């Protein structure tokens, strides 16, 4: 039964693993998982963790990334992903789903969901995608209260609280650096600066802030796509690929549906699909059969 239905590694051990990884000299790579099956693949390929993107989750619900999802929805989705993987899961918790007290509750709910950490951002509500124009941010002291509330609610000291700032695209990198320092003073373990443009921007931020840093390598946004090895050499501790798997999946789904609409069959698409055998391998189907047979291993006598 070990490793079936649920991960072997406890939530506490996964949180410790994330802490240890962030403190190491190697960068922690966290691709976004759009569902638990994707998370299993992320682990199998050898990434250090899984990311749950608010943008990808809201898009999967048919909603824009403007803070329409609820804590309950995000927690349930994140719990399903954390349940099936032995690597740590970092969750996008938007602005904490309300005022500082709500941010505190968000920490406790996501701790109970079994994830290893979350990030909170300094946008105002309703928030919007960090790589779009027209964002607005709360005053620094308001975000400091948000971070302090989150830190105060943490029960597991290894649960990672990351503070995200969107100030670089509004007030400039220097302002974002000053905010990052204030968030660190408030207790943030990790800093996420959204929408930096160039490698030089990432280097400047790294040179000014001592705390572990997270880079966002999202496609079609404002940031240059920098390889993980280069980010590691700059000194970044973590990198997320938040919407990559959703974009890959939706691109393939749209192309496939158009082929079926035009040709009336999926025959020409078979080479692009994950096979049934590969899906069963990822799901460890045979081990479930072995477990089921091992439990149901008796026969009824004729007299019964």
Write down the catalytic residue from 15, 29, 51, 179.
Answer: 51
Write down the catalytic residue from 48, 92, 111, 122.
Answer: 92
Would residue 25 show up in a list of annotated catalytic residues for this protein? no
Write down the catalytic residue from 19, 29, 48, 65.
Answer: 65
Would residue 121 show up in a list of annotated catalytic residues for this protein? yes
Would residue 19 show up in a list of annotated catalytic residues for this protein? no
Sheet hosting strand 190-193, strand order edge to edge: 28-31, 238-241, 213-216, 190-193, 160-165, 117-121, 89-92, 50-52
Show the tokens assigned to 289: 């059969």
Would residue 65 show up in a list of annotated catalytic residues for this protein? yes
Tell me the C-alpha distance between 27 and 203, whole Å: 15
What region does 250 belong to: left with phi over 0, alpha with psi -120 to 50, or beta? Answer: alpha
Q: Which of 205, 217, 276 is nearest to 243 (CA)?
A: 217
Would residue 255 show up in a list of annotated catalytic residues for this protein? no
Write down the catalytic residue from 15, 19, 148, 164.
Answer: 164
Write down the catalytic residue from 122, 189, 194, 201.
Answer: 194
Write down the catalytic residue from 15, 77, 119, 131.
Answer: 119
Would residue 13 show up in a list of annotated catalytic residues for this protein? no
Would residue 51 show up in a list of annotated catalytic residues for this protein? yes
Write down the catalytic residue from 29, 48, 111, 121.
Answer: 121
Write down the catalytic residue from 129, 183, 201, 247.
Answer: 129
Write down the catalytic residue from 216, 232, 237, 247.
Answer: 216
Write down the catalytic residue from 48, 94, 122, 201.
Answer: 94
Contact yes or no for 195/166 (Cβ under 8 A): yes
Would residue 119 show up in a list of annotated catalytic residues for this protein? yes
Would residue 285 show up in a list of annotated catalytic residues for this protein? no
Would residue 94 show up in a list of annotated catalytic residues for this protein? yes
- What's the farthest any 2 CA atoms get from each other in the chain? 84
Positions annotated as catalytic residues are 51, 65, 92, 94, 119, 121, 129, 164, 194, 216
């Amino acid at each position: 039964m070990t490793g079936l239905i649920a991960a072997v590694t406890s939530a506490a051990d996964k949180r410790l693993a994330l802490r240890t990884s962030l403190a190491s000299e190697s960068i922690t790579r966290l691709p976004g998982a759009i569902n638990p099956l994707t998370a299993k693949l992320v682990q199998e390929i050898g990434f250090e963790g899984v990311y749950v993107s608010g943008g990808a989750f809201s898009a999967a619900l048919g909603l824009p990334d403007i803070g329409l999802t609820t804590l309950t929805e995000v927690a349930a989705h994140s719990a399903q992903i954390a349940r099936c993987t032995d690597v740590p899961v970092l969750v996008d918790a938007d602005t904490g789903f309300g005022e500082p007290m709500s941010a505190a509750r968000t920490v406790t709910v996501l701790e109970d969901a079994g994830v290893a950490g979350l990030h909170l951002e300094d946008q105002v509500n309703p928030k919007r995608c960090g790589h779009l124009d027209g964002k607005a941010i709360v005053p620094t002291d308001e975000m400091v209260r948000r971070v302090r509330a989150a830190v105060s609610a943490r029960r597991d000291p290894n649960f990672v609280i990351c503070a995200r700032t969107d100030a670089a695209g509004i007030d400039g990198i220097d302002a974002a650096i000053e905010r990052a320092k204030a968030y660190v003073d408030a207790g943030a373990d990790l800093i996420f600066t959204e929408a930096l443009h160039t490698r030089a921007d990432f280097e400047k931020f790294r040179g000014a802030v001592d705390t572990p840093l997270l880079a966002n390598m999202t496609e079609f946004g404002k940031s240059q796509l920098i390889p993980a090895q280069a980010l590691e050499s700059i000194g970044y501790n973590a990198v997320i690929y938040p919407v990559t798997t959703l974009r890959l999946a939706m691109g393939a789904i749209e192309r496939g549906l158009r082929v079926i609409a035009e040709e009336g069959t999926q025959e020409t698409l078979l080479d692009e699909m994950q096979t049934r055998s590969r899906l069963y391998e990822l799901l460890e189907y045979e081990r479930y059969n072995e477990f089921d047979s091992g439990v149901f291993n008796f026969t009824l006598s004729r007299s019964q």
